[in-house]
Amino acid sequence: MTEMILTLFNGISLGSILLLIALGLAITFGLMNVINMAHGELIMVGAYITYLVQNIFMQYAPEKYFDLYFILSIPLALIVAAGVGVLLEVSLIRHLYKRPLDSLLATWGVGLILQQLARTIFGAPNVGVQSPSFLNGGLELGSITFPYSRIFILLLSLICLACIFYYFYRTASGRRVRAVMQNRQMAECLGVSTRKVDMLTFAIGSGLAGVAGCALTLLGAIGPTIGTSYIIDAFMVVVVGGVGALFGAVAGAFGIGIFNTIFEFLTNATLGKVLIFILIIAFLQWRPSGIVINRSRSLD
Amino acid sequence: MISQKLFNNRIIFSVILILLLFAPLFLTDFRLNLLGKFLAFAILAIGLDLLWGYTGVLSLGHGIFFGLGAYAMAMYLKLEATGGQLPDFMAWSGMSELPLIWIPFQYPIVAIALGILIPAAIAFFLGYLTFRNRISGVYFTILSQALVLVLVTLFVGAQNLTGGTSGLTNFKTLFGYSVNSPASQMVFYFITVGVLAIIFISCRILVKGRFGKVLVGIRDGENRMRFLGYNPSTYKTFVYTLSAAIAGIAGMLFVLQVGIISPTMIGIIPSIEMVLWVALGGRGTLIGPVIGAVFVNAAKTGFSESYPEFWTYFLGLMFVLVVVFLPKGITGLFTKWKERRQKQNDTASIEVSKSYSRL
pLDDT (tens digit per residue) in B92-103 = 777 777 888 888
**How large a percentage of chain A has pLDDT more than 90?**
51
Listed residue (A210, A20, A57, A48) closest to A133, CA to CA: A57
Q: Which residue(s) pair with A141 in the sheet?
A: A144
**pLDDT for residue B358:** 47
What are the residue ranges spanned by the domains of chain B?
27-271
Q: What ipTM is given for this predicted complex?
A: 0.89
CA distance B163 to B158: 8
Minimal Cα–Cα distance from A60 to chain B, Å? 34
| Residue of B62, B139, B269, B322 best to disrupt the A interface, most CBs of A under 10 A | B139
Res. B353: pLDDT tops 80: no
Res. B7: pLDDT tops 80: no
| Chain B residues with a Cβ under 8 Å from any Cβ in chain A | 58, 126, 129-130, 133-135, 137-139, 141-143, 145-147, 149-150, 153-154, 156-158, 221-223, 268, 272, 275-276, 279, 309, 312-313, 315-320, 323-324, 327
Residue of B nearest to A243 (CA): B139
Chain A hits for B138, CB-CB cut-off 8 Å, are 29, 33, 35, 100-101, 104
Minimal Cα–Cα distance from B264 to chain A, Å? 15
B219 or B346, greater pLDDT: B219
Q: Which residue(s) pair with A138 in the sheet?
A: A147
What are the residue ranges spanned by the domains of chain A?
2-286
CA distance A109 to A102: 11
**pLDDT for residue B160:** 82
**pLDDT for residue B6:** 46
Chain B hits for A111, CB-CB cut-off 8 Å, are 316
CA distance A35 to A27: 10
Q: Which tens digit of pLDDT belongs to each residue from B105-159?
A: 888 899 999 999 999 999 999 999 999 988 888 889 999 999 999 999 999 888 8
Mean pLDDT of chain A: 89
Q: Which tens digit of pLDDT belongs to each residue from A138-164?
A: 888 878 888 899 999 999 999 999 999
Contact B135 A271 (CB under 8 A): no
| Residue of A233, A236, A277, A289 best to disrupt the B interface, most CBs of B under 10 A | A277
Res. B5: pLDDT tops 60: no
Contact A274 B150 (CB under 8 A): yes
List alpha helices for B29-61, DSSP H: 29-49
- DSSP, res A136: S
Listed residue (A31, A205, A45, A54) closest to A113, CA to CA: A45
Q: Which tens digit of pLDDT belongs to each residue from A239-275?
A: 898 876 788 889 999 999 999 999 988 888 888 889 9
Half-sphere exposure of A277 (CA within 13 A, CB side): 21
Q: Which tens digit of pLDDT belongs to each residue from B270-309?
A: 999 999 999 999 988 898 999 999 999 999 888 877 787 7
Chain B hits for A104, CB-CB cut-off 8 Å, are 58, 138, 141
**pLDDT for residue B356:** 54
- DSSP, res B174: E
Q: Which tens digit of pLDDT belongs to each residue from B30-66?
A: 889 999 999 999 999 999 999 999 999 999 999 999 9
CATH 1.10.3470 fits A2-286, yes or no: yes
Minimal Cα–Cα distance from A146 to chain B, Å? 29
**pLDDT for residue A106:** 92
Q: How many CB pairs under 8 A join A and B?
A: 118
Contact between B247 and B44 (Cβ < 8 Å): yes
**pLDDT for residue B351:** 60
Q: Which residue(s) pair with B168 in the sheet?
A: B261
